[in-house]
Every structure is written in C-alpha cells, then in structure tokens.
Amino acid sequence: MTAEQIYSLGMSQIGVVFFLASFRIHLQVQHRQSLLLLQLLFFFDSLSWLFYVWQDQPLTLFLSCVTSCINVWLVLAFAMRRAGSTVKWPLIICGMLLHAGYYSYFAIQGMQAYVLHGQTLFSTLAIAPVCWLFWFKKQPRTFSDQLYVGAMLVWLLVCGSRSVLLLFAPEWLFSSLLVTQVIWPGVMVAYGIFAITSYMEETELKLKGEALHDPLTGLLNRRGMLESIRACLSYLQRKQQHAALLMIDLDFFKKINDAHGHDVGDLVLVEVADALALQLRESDVLARFGGEEFLLFLPQTSTEQAKLVAERLLAAVNALQLAVLAQSAQKLSISIGIANFGPDYDFASQLKRADQALYRAKDLGRCRIEIASE
C-alpha cells in the first residue's frame, strides 16, 4: 500500500472508533435523533475514507465523493437537532445532491482545481451554519460546544486556505496539502470528541440542576438556595448591607391533602409557588424548603421593605382562585416569618430566627406576618 492509502485507512479507522464510541452514550428520548445523526455522520465519514483507499478506481472514487458529501451535510442536520431546531431535510438533501454531483464529476475528471474550490464553497455553505447554530442557538452552550465550533472553524480555514493558495500562490499548494494532511486528523478527532463530550456535559448540568431544584415546583431547594446566595451573602457582609430571609408556610395544607388528595395538593403548591414568584425581583431567590414551606431571600432589603414584600405575597396568595378548590369553602393563605441579616450574616442562625417568627405567626392565628425579635 502507498503512504496515501495507509493515511486514508487510518482516517477511516478514526471514524470507526467514534462511530462505536457514540453507542456508549445513553440519552433521553428528545436527544436520540441528534445522536442517530451523529452516528450516521461518523459512519459515512469512515466509509468515505475507506473508499478513498482505492481512489484510482472510478467506482470507489465516486462512492468516496458521495459518502464524503453525505457526511458534510449530516453535520448540518446534526447541528440543527442539537440546537433544538427541526431538521430541514429538503435543504439537506438538496445540498447533498448538488455537492455530490459537483464533487464526484470533477474528481473523476481529475480537475483538482475545481474540486478544491467546490469543496471550499460547499463546506462553507454547510459548516458556517453549524458554527452559528452551536454558538448562538444551542442551549445550554457547553464548553465542549465552544471547542466544537473551534474545530469547525479550523475545517473552514483549511478548505479556504487551499483555495486561496491555488488562486494566488499555486507554488505553495503542494506544501499546504501536506500541512492539511497533518491538521486534518486533529480536526476529525476534535469534532468527534467534542460532539460526544457535549452530551456528557449536558447530562452533568442536568443532574446538577436536579440536585439543586425541587422537581414539583421547579424552584430551588434548600441546597440550591445556599449555593445561590453564598457569594451574595459574602458581598453583603463586606459592604454591611441589609438582606432579609422570609420563611413562608401554606396554611392548613394538610386539610387540603386530606380532603382533595395529594394530586390536588401538588397542584396547589405549584400555583402558590408561581404566585409568589410573580411578586419578586430578579435578584430575589425563592426556594421550596420542604413540604408546604417556602424560603425567600431578599438581598439589599431592610426589615421594613421585607414586610412590604411579605404583604404583597400574602395578598397574592389570598387572591388565588383554583378550580380544584371551587367546591370547598377553604381559602388559600400563608403565614410569614421575617428575619433580617446584619450584623449577623450567618444563614443558619437567621433561618432559625425566621422559623421562630413563622411559628409565632401560626400560633397567633395564621394568615399574618411576624418579624423576628432582635
């Protein structure tokens, strides 16, 4: 075998490795189509290099060109799904056919100048949108996604530089092709690795989010609140600025559960959480503390200001009218205990004070606000 054949066979093996590695990714249903597209593009990439081993035969050269073009446009289809968009198959198939027809015709004719310029044109048409989709549309955009975009830009740079050299410095073209052969395995490995690790990072972010959020209401849980406000508390302590902690309890929630069932109870918790959230600033942090209790952190808020916020929350919950409770005479209400940070910025101690104030509010008849004693 020639050195070029060995090189092509090695590139094909890289594609096989990524194709097999992609089957080790286990995803939820909504991501399976993008994973299938990733597997297909690895498969066709590997196949194109394998056919290229016998490029001196018209049939295998044609098959190499076609499978290579399919790979390029599958990259765009993959990017569309990863960005949460619908794959525009008429556009993808049209691009594949035009690209494959152009590439295979001029490659078989041995017209390398047209081949290089065509590859630059079609690669730009397919890969430039890939970069845009991964950078601007995909959410969440992980670090692997950013590196993936970098690999795609190198792909475009390699193709573009060959066309520029062919036009303005053809004597340097042979050297650039040698450099390309050194760079291209790195590009292939990079986009393969980062496409796979992007899924892994997303899974990690999802698991972290689940660990910090209440699955019913979507609010932060206690741990999530602690992580969210830790840096803020340190800043407030340095600046000696006020903050308030509100402990909120949904009154007579057990009666709702007993009378209507846990499904209705869950719905009530969700509606109350939404009603509370609508009254808050972006900087405020609301969490479900557990059961029917909520916790609210108000940065840069005095005791008097916190009481005004608490009054709004009280009114918002009192105004709730739920269809599931229409046959019941019971009205929704909350009790609130308020503790103020400063000069003590210890979260645990302020939580205890807010809890004591809450219990005082409940002992005094519920549906009221109590402020922790200094």
Q: Please write the tens of the pLDDT for every residue from 138-162.
A: 988 999 999 999 999 999 988 888 8
* Token reading at 66: 């076609």
Higher per-residue pLDDT: 345 or 270: 270
Quickly state the pLDDT bin for 90 (edges 50, 70, 90): very high
Instruction: Please report the pLDDT score of residue 255 as a whole number.
Output: 85
Region of 218 (left: φ > 0; alpha: ψ -120 to 50; beta: rest) is: left
CB atoms under 10 Å from CB of 147, counted, come to: 17
CATH fold of 3-212: Rhopdopsin 7-helix transmembrane proteins (1.20.1070)
Q: Scanning the structure block, which residue is given the tokens 């986009």?
A: 191
State in words which class domain 222-371 has: alpha beta
Instruction: Please report the pLDDT score of residue 133 as a whole number.
Output: 96
CB 74 within 8 A of CB 44: yes
CA distances from 316 to 84, 253, 320 (A): 36, 17, 7
Q: Is the pLDDT of residue 328 over 80?
A: no
Catalytic annotation present for 282: no
The average pLDDT across 114-138 equals: 94
CB atoms under 10 Å from CB of 335, counted, come to: 26
Q: Is the pLDDT of residue 237 over 60?
A: yes
Q: Is the pLDDT of residue 214 over 60?
A: yes
pTM for the whole thing?
A: 0.73
* Token reading at 156: 């475009």
Q: Which of 45, 41, 43, 52 is nearest to 8 (CA)?
A: 52
The average pLDDT across 62-71 equals: 96
Quickly state the pLDDT bin for 164 (edges 50, 70, 90): confident
Our measurement of the distance from residue 259's CA atom to the centroid of its chain's CA atoms, rounded to an integer in Å, reads 41
Burial class (CB in 10 A: 0-12, 13-18, 19+), 201: middle
Distance separating the N- and C-terminal Cα atoms of the chain: 86
The average pLDDT across 274-285 equals: 92
Give the rounded percent of residues in the chain with a pLDDT score beyond 70.
95
295 sits in which H/E element: strand 293-299
Quickly state the pLDDT bin for 30 (edges 50, 70, 90): low
Quickly state the pLDDT bin for 326 (edges 50, 70, 90): low
* Token reading at 109: 């004719």
Q: Is the pLDDT of residue 61 over 90?
A: yes
Pairing of strands 285-290, 334-341: unpaired
Region of 115 (left: φ > 0; alpha: ψ -120 to 50; beta: rest) is: alpha
**pLDDT, mean over the chain:** 89
User: Edge-to-edge strands of the sheet including 243-250?
Assistant: 285-290, 293-299, 243-250, 334-341, 369-371
- Domain ranges for the chain: 3-212, 222-371
Instruction: Please report the pLDDT score of residue 344 as a whole number.
Output: 72
Name the active-site residue from 292, 304, 311, 374: 292
Convert the pLDDT of each residue in 295-307 to its tens digit: 999 998 989 999 9
* Token reading at 236: 């407030």
The average pLDDT across 328-356 equals: 86
CB 139 within 8 A of CB 84: yes
d(CA 364, CA 374): 19
Interior CA angle at 268 toward 224 and 279, to 5°? 60
CA distances from 54 to 11, 62, 298 (A): 14, 10, 70
d(CA 259, CA 246): 28
Q: Is the pLDDT of residue 258 over 90?
A: no
